Amino acid sequence: MKDNLEYRHLLQRLISIPSPSGEEKAAADLVQRFLEDKGCTVHRRINNLWIESESEAAGKPTLLLNAHLDTVKASAGYSFDPYCGRLENGRILGLGSNDDGGSLVSLIQAWFLLTAHEQPYRLVFSATAQEENSGADGFDAVKGEWGNVRLGIIGEPTGMKMAVAEKGLLVLDCTARGITGHAAREGGVNAIYKAMEDIEWFRTYRFPRESQYLGPVKMSVTAIEAGSLHNVIPDSCRFTVDIRSNGEYSNAQILETVMQNVQCEVRPRSLRNNSSSISTGSAVVRRGLEIGLEAFGSPTTSNSTRCDFPTLKIGPGLSERSHTADEFILLSELDEAAGIYFKLLDKLEI
């Protein structure tokens, strides 16, 4: 797109501001000033911002554009300053460039392109906090402020492909209980051995129903902790299970199956991050296919899990770069994104 230099500069300035989940104030301040300088009335709650094309009283359905302000913390593996925001060899470098700064600045640009003339919907753009840690002061704190949303566009790095389905997330903290004893004797019940039986179930069990776009439910044991002395049989073994749901089962249904098959104590961190999907027959997906966009199922979660309305996840950059050292986004990816959003949404009947 032409005239996008100011959006590149906005992204570079955002990268220069550390904004891990829960610490987004300075980044929110920057975006707020940018929007106000362009004549927008900015609404804000905590570190969440939004702008509206017109009042809900106009009677049009609402279309939401959303991206998140926060990042994960910088890993130790960076070979350059993660907050440099440097332009080098056709790339903008730095933490948050790909996830989720590229989507954020591109959706802002798309908002101005779309609102330059009348649309059959009321358009809301929102930049929200605490996406990376599913915090209570992020998307959930403000989603009731936007009225009755008919469709959401969630900006995340997808290579500008349409994520028509997204796996949900269920994290389980499990504890196997045993009886302590001396390792040299026959007494005691080893909690590690008990945990191994349940871990083997998580490793081998397959939920029967698979999704067209998301495949099977995926369960992975990702952490384990037990014991402190070489000569003491441990009486507890704690382990964590990462489960990615596929839309064929709710998180509550998956938890019920787990509880029926394991002996350890199981505590879910949250049941609310369910899988999400949008009908491939919906107007926005049909439009996307018409303009040559590809549909796929995404293995990663986003603010789509927070929505009680249909959402389409799409944005510049690649998911594979997210949460990795030496994060970057290509200028070519950034330059094309707003134009694709415009083609996808201009005059769309939702």
Per-residue pLDDT of 281-295, as tens digits, reads 999 999 999 999 999
pLDDT single digits (tens) 80-131: 999 999 999 999 999 999 999 999 999 999 999 999 999 999 999 999 999 9
Q: What is the residue whose two structure tokens read 């249904």?
A: 253
Q: H helices of 278-317, where?
A: 283-290
**What is the enclosing helix (H) or strand (E) of 109?**
helix 102-114
Q: Give me the mean pLDDT over the 162-179 stretch.
A: 97
Q: Give me the mean pLDDT over the 180-208 stretch.
A: 96
Residues with Cβ within 8 Å of 275's Cβ and at least 6 positions away in sequence, in order, are 165, 166, 167, 168, 211, 214, 245, 246, 247, 305
pLDDT value, residue 3: 65
> Which amino acid is present at 148?
N
pLDDT value, residue 187: 87
Reported as a pLDDT band with limits 50, 70 and 90, residue 4 is: confident
First-last CA distance in the chain? 25
- Give the CA dihedral 135, 9, 108, 54, nearest 10 degrees: 110
The average confidence (pLDDT) of the chain is 96
Residues with Cβ within 8 Å of 13's Cβ and at least 6 positions away in sequence, in order, are 30, 85
Phi, psi of 315 (to 5 degrees): -175, 170
99 secondary structure, DSSP code: I
Q: In 41-67, which positions are buried (b, 16+ CB within 10 angstroms) versus exposed (e)?
A: ebbeebbbbbbbbbeeeeebebbbbbb
Rg (CA), the chain: 23
pLDDT value, residue 180: 96
pLDDT single digits (tens) 311-337: 999 999 999 999 999 999 999 999 999
117 is written with which tokens? 């003339």
The closest alpha carbon to 310, from 336, 260, 348, 339, belongs to: 348
Report cis status (omega within 30 of 0) of the bond before 137.
no
Beta strand 162-166 with 276-277: parallel, antiparallel or unpaired? Answer: antiparallel
CB 51 within 8 Å of CB 129? no
The closest alpha carbon to 266, from 171, 191, 170, 172, belongs to: 172
- Taking the C-alpha atoms of residue 305 and residue 163, their distance in angstroms, rounded to an integer, is 13
Distance (Å) of CA 334 to CA 30, 164, 183, 295: 19, 22, 60, 20
What strands lie across the sheet with 91-93, from one edge to the other?
87-88, 91-93, 328-330
Q: Give me the mean pLDDT over the 56-81 stretch.
A: 95
- Taking the C-alpha atoms of residue 283 and residue 151, their distance in angstroms, rounded to an integer, is 10
- Taking the C-alpha atoms of residue 136 and residue 131, their distance in angstroms, rounded to an integer, is 9
CB 48 within 8 Å of CB 89? no
pLDDT value, residue 1: 47
CA 195 distance to own-chain centroid: 31
Q: What percent of the chain has pLDDT over 90?
A: 95
